[in-house]
Amino acid sequence: MVDTFTVEQRSRNMAAIRSRGNRTTENALRFRLVRYGISGWELCSPDLEGKPDFVFPAAKLVVFVDGCHWHGCPKCYRPPASNTGYWLMKFKRNRARDRVVSASLRRKGWKVLRIWEHEMERSPLTAVERIRRLLGSRPSRSRKSLNFADSVAILRPSSRKHEVV
Instruction: Point out which residues bind Zn ion (CB under 5 A).
Output: 68, 73, 75-76, 116, 118
Q: Are 162 and 51 in contact (CB under 8 A)?
A: no
In terms of CB distance, is 10 or 118 closer to Zn ion?
118
In terms of CB distance, is 19 or 140 closer to Zn ion?
19
In terms of CB distance, is 41 or 87 closer to Zn ion?
87
3-state secondary structure of 142: coil
In the complex, minimum distance from the CB of residue 70 to Zn ion, in angstroms, rounded to a whole number = 11
Please give the backbone phi and psi of residue 101, each rounded to the nearest 5 degrees, phi first. Answer: -60, -50
Rounded Cα distance between 162 and 41, Å, is: 9
26 vs 4, 42, 142, 161, CA distance in Å? 32, 12, 23, 13
Instruction: Describe the strand order of the beta sheet including 42-43 as a list of residue ranges.
Output: 42-43, 54-56, 61-66, 111-116
In the complex, minimum distance from the CB of residue 68 to Zn ion, in angstroms, rounded to a whole number = 3
Sign (positive or negative) of CA dihedral 50, 56, 59, 65: negative
Burial status of residue 22 (CB atoms within 10 A of its CB: 0-12, 13-18, 19 or more)? buried
In terms of CB distance, is 17 or 164 closer to Zn ion?
17
In the complex, minimum distance from the CB of residue 33 to Zn ion, in angstroms, rounded to a whole number = 21
In the complex, minimum distance from the CB of residue 143 to Zn ion, in angstroms, rounded to a whole number = 27
In terms of CB distance, is 34 or 128 closer to Zn ion?
128
In the complex, minimum distance from the CB of residue 119 to Zn ion, in angstroms, rounded to a whole number = 7
